[in-house]
Structures are given as structure tokens and as C-alpha cells.
Amino acid sequence: MSVNLLTSLKEYDSILINQTASNWQDAVKISCQPLLDKGLISTEYVHAIIQSTIENGPYYILAPFLAMPHAEAGKGVFGNGFSLVVFNKPFYFEADSRPVQILITLAATNSDIHTSVALPKLLPLLKMLQILKRLKTPKVRKKLFHCLKKSIFLNI
């Protein structure tokens, strides 16, 4: 099974821009909200991400400014999808000095989506990091979709 990042973001209207988080837990909750609103996850999944981060650290930081919060596949997940949230300023996880400003939250119903599909195909996003960090205009969604359409990772 495959999950298309662009289709998921557009279908579930799950892009949030210029968000403010008081701490990393708040950022995770904000990034999960579009998935909660669309019924793809339950609050159990949000709590699982936070608990897993407390126990294991922010293992899902992919690069400076970019992280992909997720927890055990299927636990509190009802459908596959993504949310993309850009915060107006970087935040930090406890005991970690890497700044994070963009969260792409993954909801995966099984571990195949999680490990074999989503993670490997999100890596080209790192090439777009500088572009994403600059998308702070009122037309940000349109620009973001334009960038995503031109990127290599549309087959997620």
C-alpha cells in the first residue's frame, strides 16, 4: 500500500503555517490536530507519540528544522495520512540541541507504511528544506503545493 504525501495533505487539508508552540509537546499536539479532525487518529496516538518521545528521545528528527513525529503503527490510527506544520520559530526537544520548525506527522495503519514507504520516500524532502523555511507569505499553501508537485517524493 502507498500513501501519496501531496494527496494526503490536500485531501485532509492538513497543512498549518505560522503556528506557535510553547514547547515540543504543544508542537506535537498541534501537528496531530488535522489528523484528529479528519478521524485518521485518536488522542491515544497523540499520547503515544509524546510518551515514546519522553522514553526514547526525538528519534524522528530527520534534519535540522525537520522532524516526523510518529509512534507505533496502528495504535490509535484509523487511516494513513500526513500533516505538515510550519512553526513561526524553532522549538527544541528536551536534552536535544537540534532546532525543529517543520513537523510532518505520520499516521500509519501498519509498519510497512511506516518503515518501507514513508520514511525512505520523505528523505528527498531534505532538499526542499530551505524553500519550506521561507514559505511565510499569504499564498503559502499554493507555493507549498507547487514545490511539492515539482519534488521527487510525490509517490509516497
Q: Which residues are catalytic?
A: 70
Helical segments of 24-124, H only: 24-37, 43-56, 111, 119-122
22, 46, 47 from 26: Cα distances, Å: 6, 11, 11
- Give every CB contact of residue 6 below 8 A, 6+ residues apart in sequence: 145, 148, 149, 154
Looking at residue 73, what DSSP letter applies?
T
Task: Find all residues with CB under 8 Å of 9, minimum gap 6, and list them.
Answer: 15, 82, 83, 84, 145, 148
- Closest CA relative to residue 81, chosen from 103, 46, 113, 106: 106
